[in-house]
Structure 1
């Protein structure tokens, strides 16, 4: 590649299908060329034929935009399969309990496998094709035992899709300064090995994790995310407009509007140009 050519990266908006406000914000940014990927939840009430048709119409205006499946295995959502366990009432476990269950080897990879197959089938039913990539809500695809069932299901139903790992391309000092991202680095090491063994492709590097509760300057964060990100590296984002459904389902609310405002601003394409990065 020419040394002066821009790096092409993936900027992926998670959670399409979470709420109408999230859906609308993601579609708007796709139409403006400010995103080139989004991942879709199939277990939520805000996904259906109308939401899918609207997304496809937006993607027609940005034909290089990829669409993936956002596998969802944590509360407050419910499984598509009847026999998924363990549950919290009739819902998936909260993600700390799911992670702990995997670390203690208390999960059943076969039940995870069946649920991911069901979500992949639901995606195909909605879109008429397999997803371009597959990732996971709250990074659950990286958890021990979960990753075994997840990767095997992708290999069976969507072998040409790539899967998302959460490891960064950053110096050790930078990784140690961000505890959340360091956990993702650690979990991703085994995920990459298992994906490679199955012949599944994955993104070479990942960025986008931060402490949502501190409402930081998203523009400053984005500058850090782009630093050192290689060709085909992925930045995760969560743009959205707050509505009642979002407030009821997810603690990440107003920061989604902050992310949307920055990505929709003139500052964002200027930052891409300054860093010789492209989404096209």
Structure 2
């Protein structure tokens, strides 16, 4: 079986971190209203009002579960700087035993159940904060939950192609290669490629030279630069 991709749409713009803080929610909803966003990745344990839930549901865009381990929500939180510090923090938790797969599975199931309770349906897709779902021991959990909750879409695009050369893209590319067999056997549906908006130095040039298969572009609208770029270019 081959990994299934969606060739019908060349670009899939996904806004991550809904629920992180009020600014993230506000900016994402503004972009949704402008028709700039295709999918919203929701941190179900975060700060989400009934009004915001209604606005998302009535927009009829895809609503994904944005799995999280750290559960850090803050009004002033942007993005932790530096791939080294983020990766170091994550690996420290893994090797210290704080992130045992059994505990992560239980926590992620709780987050999906919370999503269902708030939105009245299963998520349309599954991804994670800091891409932690792609680490092999956690990717197996991701696939298990995908099947249990009949979640049709998984963030699994290849992050390695022209017009960016970021360390994190190389790490994700390696993780994808490790997980490819499992994902293929589970009939995963995903984009062909994956890129974070902040990896792209020249957006106009990037858009002129897109890969032939679909590309998922991940943005974080709580960051003003991402918010303005999505408004301008997409």
TM-score normalised by length of structure 2: 0.79
SS in structure 2 at match of 1:230:
coil
Displacement of 1:196 after TM fit? 2.0
Which residue does 1:56 correspond to in 2? 57
Question: Cα distance 1:230–1:49, how it changes in 2: closer, same or farther (>3 A)?
Answer: farther
Residues 135 and 73 from structure 1, CA distance in 2 versus in 1: closer, same or farther, beyond 3 angstroms? same
Alpha-carbon deviation of 1:205? 1.1
Q: Secondary structure at the match of 2:191?
A: coil
Q: CA RMSD in A?
A: 2.8
Q: Assess, with a 3 A threshold, how the Cα gap between structure 1 residues 228 and 163 changes in structure 2: closer, same or farther.
A: same
Please give the alpha-carbon distance, in whole angstroms, between the structure 1 residues aligned to 2:226 and 2:198. Answer: 12
Alpha carbons 2:11, 2:215 under 8 Å: kept? yes
Instruction: Give the structure 2 partner of residue 162 of structure 1.
Output: 153
| Aligned mates of 2:90, 2:204 — CA distance in 1 | 29
Tell me, in whole angstroms, the C-alpha distance in 2 between the residues paired with 1:6 and 1:152: 27
Q: Quote how far apart the aligned CAs of 1:166 are.
A: 4.7
Residue 173 of structure 2 aligns to a residue whose secondary structure is helix
Q: Tell me how far 1:75 sits from its aligned partner.
A: 5.2
Distance 2:68 2:151 in 1: 20
1:195-274 aligned within 5 A: 195-208=183-196, 210=198, 220-221=202-203, 223-224=205-206, 227-240=209-222, 256-265=223-232, 268-269=233-234
**How many residue pairs were aligned?**
215
Q: Displaced runs of 4+ in structure 1, greater than 6 A?
A: none
TM-score relative to the length of structure 1: 0.67
The CA deviation at 1:169 is 5.3
The 1:185–1:19 alpha-carbon spacing in structure 2 relative to 1, beyond 3 Å, is same
Q: 1:29 aligns with which of 19, 28, 31?
A: 31
Structure 1 counterpart of 2:174: 186
User: In 2, distance between residues paired with 1:234 and 1:199?
Assistant: 18
Q: Is the 8 A contact 2:191 2:213 kept in 1?
A: no
Distance 1:196-1:26 versus aligned 2 partners, 3 A rule: same
Would the alpha carbon gap of residues 183 and 76 (structure 1) be closer, same or farther in structure 2, given more than 3 Å must change?
same
Q: Distance in 1 between matches of 2:207 and 2:159?
A: 10
SS at match of 2:189: coil
The equivalent residue for 1:14 is 16
Consecutive unaligned residues in structure 2, runs of 5 or more: 1-6, 74-85
Larger-gyration structure (1/2): 1
1:207 to partner: Cα distance: 1.0
Summarize deviations over 1:241-274 as a string: whole Å, max 9, x none. xxxxxxxxxxxxxxx1111122223xx15xxxxx
Structure 1 residues 117 and 100: alpha-carbon distance in aligned structure 2, compared to 1, 3 A threshold? same
Aligned in 2, Cα 1:29/1:138: closer, same or farther, shift over 3 Å? same
Distance 2:89 2:31 in 1: 34
Label 1:260 to 1:67 Cα distance change in 2 as closer, same or farther (>3 A): same
- Alignment partners' CA distance in 2, 1:126 and 1:10: 25
